[in-house]
Amino acid sequence: MDFAAETLLCGPGTFGFGRAITGLDLDRPIGPQTAAALRALWLEHGLLVFPGLGTSPEAQLALSRCFGELEPHPIPRFRHPDHAELILLGNESGSTGPIYDFGGVATLGHIPWHTDLAFATTPNAGALLRMVRRPETGGQTGWLDTAAAYDALDDATKAEIAGLEAVYLFCAGLEDMRFNRPEGARLSPRNDAYPHFPPVANPLVWTHPDTGRKVLNLSTLNISHVIGLPAAQSEALICRLIAHATQARFCHIHQWADNDMVLWDNRRTMHMAFGHPVDQIRVVHRTTIRGTVAMGRVIDSQDAA
């Protein structure tokens, strides 16, 4: 291989989550053997960090295509003007998302632990995020290994949740979250000009389509309740599973440097954007790897109550 892979340091536990990739020359075409080796590492470890290698949109796009078909953002205004498959996220031209007060700091871009498209039947396969301009403070991104979290459950809990489904809802703001909601007061007005997303039922545990590993499917931003359980029992179970899955031993928090890129397997992880002070600039480019395997089913709003 024409690159090296090193274990990432994570929390105080024993789980080695993710790999750091160095020595990869993205100024040259990526050969099929290198692409296959990178994809195998991605599936094995769930998270790949490419320190300082994201020097251009072209490098990011070339690397992204090693892992699957790329999916442009459904809303054209979020697409990079020169590269339709790149998503441009930043506040150079003003704040585009909700602003919250966290501990007296007006904060932009805080998104709690979630899985992309958990409120849909088919999640993204993954994504590659590139730091174009890092803020002076804040702006970290975290990832949780929900496959390792499932493996660490006791046998009784695994038996308890086998076959259970939960309802997942689209949330336009932190105020809509039902679990693990951060303490923060909204400073910006609500502007919920979003498409309608019907509720979906997804399994609490699902099998990764490429690796066969069992994965805890929680997405704290979107989970509502467990189907078929009394409300109190459903709430207690979800709280217990979230407390387990969000332990530091399953987590990698990335302290960004400019030109870092991080690739994650969306079917095997949750991620979180910590946000940054609203008066600082943060710009990232993202590619999304299209998902091809459906997880759940759309349900009626009445059934989701």
Give me the pLDDT at residue 175, please: 92
CA distance 28 to 47: 23
Task: Give me the domain span that covers residue 199.
Answer: 4-304
The conformation of residue 266, written as its DSSP 8-state character, comes to: T
Q: If 0-12 CB within 10 Å is exposed, 13-18 middle and 19+ buried, where does residue 21 land?
A: buried
The CATH number covering residue 40 comes to: 3.60.130.10
Report the chain's mean pLDDT, rounded to a whole number: 91
State the total domains in the chain.
Answer: 1
Q: Is the pLDDT of residue 212 over 80?
A: yes
The mean pLDDT of 219-237, rounded to a whole number, is: 97
Q: Is the pLDDT of residue 9 over 60?
A: no
CA distance 241 to 164: 13
The pLDDT tens digits for 27-80 are: 999 999 999 999 999 999 999 999 999 999 999 999 999 999 999 877 777 778
Within a 10 A sphere around the Cβ of 159, how many other Cβ atoms? 10
CA distance 216 to 63: 28
Q: What is the pTM of this model?
A: 0.93
CA distance 275 to 283: 12
Close Cβ partners of 248 (under 8 Å, ≥ 6 residues apart): 10, 11, 12, 13
SS3 125: coil
